[in-house]
A = this chain, B = another copy of it.
Amino acid sequence: MATVRLLSDDEVAANPAAKAVFDDIRATRKSDFVNNFWRGLANDPVLLKRTWEEVKAVMVGEGALDPLTRELIYIAVSSANSCQYCVHSHTAAARAKGMDDAQYGELLAIIGLAGKTNHLVTAMQIPADPEFLVTS
């Protein structure tokens, strides 16, 4: 159903550059499971490597935002962009990082409310208050 082939582990193994990325995904996540996004990207090892390194730098490890909060933000963007796969994969990731039902319910409520007020604001073309523009 994809526009690219989703490479199997055997196919990935045939390309050392792609294989190295898959090895690092598995080592970093401490799991043998590699999801379809990476199997599609594996057709272009350069794009695969650059994308994984960015995901690793931004989403993995210590940071100013905790790992679960980062996933909530990812779900929010993905929902607004109507990215089905991304919604599924990052909702699963958020649950794996401890998102409970109450947190998920609030996330949904905020995503819905933001969708609503974004549309209202754009339909009314509200200009920014000078109070918001403190940085220029």
Contacts and interface: CB of A to CB of B under 8 A. Distances in A.
Interface range on chain A (Cβ under 8 Å from partner): 35 or more
A20 interface: no
A17 interface: no
A77 B110 CA distance: 9
A46 to B, nearest CB: 8
SS class, residues of chain A in contact with chain B: helix
A13 interface: no
A80 to B, nearest CB: 3
B123 A70 contact: no
Contact of A114 (B1, B73, B126): B73
Contact of A123 (B1, B101, B111, B116): B111
A135 B4 contact: yes
Contact of A108 (B103, B107, B123): B123
A97 interface: no
Contact of A121 (B72, B85, B129, B133): B85
A2 interface: yes
Given A40-B124, A108-B120, A108-B123, 17 more contacts: A1-B136, A2-B124, A2-B126, A3-B87, A36-B126, A37-B117, A58-B106, A58-B113, A64-B105, A69-B72, A81-B119, A84-B122, A84-B128, A85-B127, A87-B122, A113-B116, A115-B116
